[in-house]
Structure 1
C-alpha cells in the first residue's frame, strides 16, 4: 500500500456529443473516475442517460460562462445579470465576475444542481466551469446541496490539469506526474472527447480558447485511455478513486 489516491475528473460532460462519447469511453476503458456535468448545455439529456447507464459518479460543473463562437448556451433561469446581449452566458470569467448578481447566481446554480437530481443523478460534488466567476455563491449552493465544493483545491495533496499541454508531451508528462505522486489524495482534471467533426466547428481558429475546442480534448482522450498509463498506475499501486470515496467520513 503506497497511500497514494488519485481522482481523475472528466470535465464538460453534456457540452456536446463528442465530449459525451469520449468521456464515457475514458471512464469505461481509461482512468477517468468521475465526471462533471454541465446542466445548461444542449447535450445534457444524453449525458444524464449515459451517466445512469454506466453508473458514472457525477458532480455539477457549475456554469456561468460559455466560451465558444458557434456553440452557445443559456442559463436555466432568467437572471438578466447572467447573460450578454445575445441572451447567452458571457464568454470569460472576468466578464461574468464583473456583471453577475449574487442572488441570481445562487438561483441559477441551484437550478443546475436541481436538474441533475431531477434526472436521477446523485450529485457527489460541485466544481466550476472555466473559473471562479462568483466566489461567494459556490459554497452557499454546495451547502444547500449537501455535497463538497471542489474549487479551493486545498482539500487535495495536489491538483493538476492534464489538458492544456502540447499533445506530443502529454503522455510523458503524465507518466512523470504519476511517478512523483506522494501519499495523499490527488486531483487530475481532464477534458476528453471522441474524434468528431463538431469539435472543429464550434470555434474560430486563432482565439485564446481555440485549442480547447479539439486539440486538447483529443490528446487527453488518447492519453487517459492509453494502456501504458493504466499499467503505470497499477505498477505504482496508485488507487484510482472519487471525491466521495476518498473523503468518506
Structure 2
C-alpha cells in the first residue's frame, strides 16, 4: 500500500470514528417541576441544580411560595427556567387561586379545581375539563402568569403545563402555541424529536428510584431525552400535603431529591458520556 493510500485509510478511519462518536451522542434534559408549591420544594430544587443534575426548573406562578422562588432564582441567572402554567390546585391543606378574575376556572371557594380530568378519586364536580370553562378566561390567566414570570425571572426560556393543563383541549393547545410565540417562549421538545426518559423499574423507595434511573441511563441510545420529576424534602410542611391517591408525597419527593444528587448517578452519566442540556440548548 502506498503512503497516499495509507493516508486515505487513516483519514477515512478518523472520519468514520468521528461520525460514529457523533451518531452515538446522548443528550439529556433533567427537569424539576413544581417550584413554588412549598418552601421545601424550592430548597430541594435549588439543591438538585447546585449539587445534582437538574438542568431546567418549572415555576408555578400562582402558588404561595412563588415569591421565594423568584428570589432564589435571581441568585442563579444561568439556571434555565420555564413557566409551569397552572389551572389546578390539587393538594389538601394548601390551595391557590387564579391571578385574574376567572369564575369559570374556579370552585365555589374561588380556588382552582383539584384536577383537569375526572378520575377514580375525583369526579366531574372536581375536574376543570368537565366544567363550563371559558377559553378567554384561560387566555387572560395564562397571560397574567407568563407576564409576571417574565417580569421577575429574566432567564425564562419556555412554557410547560402543570397537570397537563396546556393539553386539556385542542383550543387550549392552539392558544398556548400562540402565546409562546408572542412572548418569545416557544420551545417545544416534542417538535424537536426529544424523547421521554422514564424510570426502568420500580420507584417506590429512594434506592429503587436510583437503581431504576441508572437502568434508564444505561438503556439510552443516540438522541435527545428529557426526564421529569418533582424534588422536595420530607419535612412536616410537605408531610401535610397530599391528595386522594397520592398520600406519601413527602417521602416520595425526598427520594427524587436524593436521586438527583446521588453520586452514583453522576458517575454513570460521566461514564456513559451523556451530555446534560437544558431547554435553551434546544434552540442552538
The two structures have a TM-score, normalised by structure 1, of 0.91
Q: Name the Cα RMSD after superposition.
A: 1.8
Secondary structure of 2:97's aligned partner: coil
Asked whether the 8 Å contact 2:73–2:153 carries over to 1, the reply is: no
Structure number with greater Rg is 2
Decide whether aligned partners of structure 1 residues 41 and 5 sit closer, same or farther in structure 2, where only a CA change above 3 A counts.
Answer: same
Are 1:176 and 2:232 matched, yes or no? Answer: no
Q: How does 1:40-55 map to 2 (within 5 A)?
A: 40-55=62-77
Secondary structure of 1:20's aligned partner: helix
2:257 corresponds in structure 1 to 221
Decide whether aligned partners of structure 1 residues 25 and 201 sit closer, same or farther in structure 2, where only a CA change above 3 A counts.
Answer: same
Asked whether the 8 Å contact 2:214–2:265 carries over to 1, the reply is: yes
Aligned length: 243
CA deviation profile, 1:194-214 (whole Å, cap 9, x unmatched): 23210011236xx21323x32
Q: Which of structure 1's runs of 4+ aligned residues deviate more than 6 A?
A: none
Secondary structure of 1:214's aligned partner: helix
Q: Distance in 1 between matches of 2:155 and 2:130?
A: 32
CA deviation profile, 1:73-120 (whole Å, cap 9, x unmatched): 000111111111110100011121233211111111111111111114
Higher helix share: 2
Shift of 1:165: 3.0
Q: How does 1:1-249 map to 2 (within 5 A)?
A: 1=21, 2-55=24-77, 56-94=79-117, 95-99=127-131, 100-131=133-164, 132-133=167-168, 134-150=172-188, 153=190, 155-161=192-198, 165-167=203-205, 168-203=207-242, 207-211=244-248, 213-248=249-284
Q: Distance in 2 between matches of 1:161 and 1:210?
A: 22
Q: Tell me which of the two structures has the higher relative contact order, counting C-alpha pairs closer than 8 angstroms and 6 or more residues apart.
A: 1
Asked whether the 8 Å contact 2:29–2:276 carries over to 1, the reply is: yes
The two structures have a TM-score, normalised by structure 2, of 0.80
User: Gapped runs of 5+ residues in structure 2?
Assistant: 1-20, 118-126
Secondary structure of 2:27's aligned partner: strand
Asked whether the 8 Å contact 1:37–1:44 carries over to 2, the reply is: yes
Decide whether aligned partners of structure 1 residues 8 and 156 sit closer, same or farther in structure 2, where only a CA change above 3 A counts.
Answer: farther
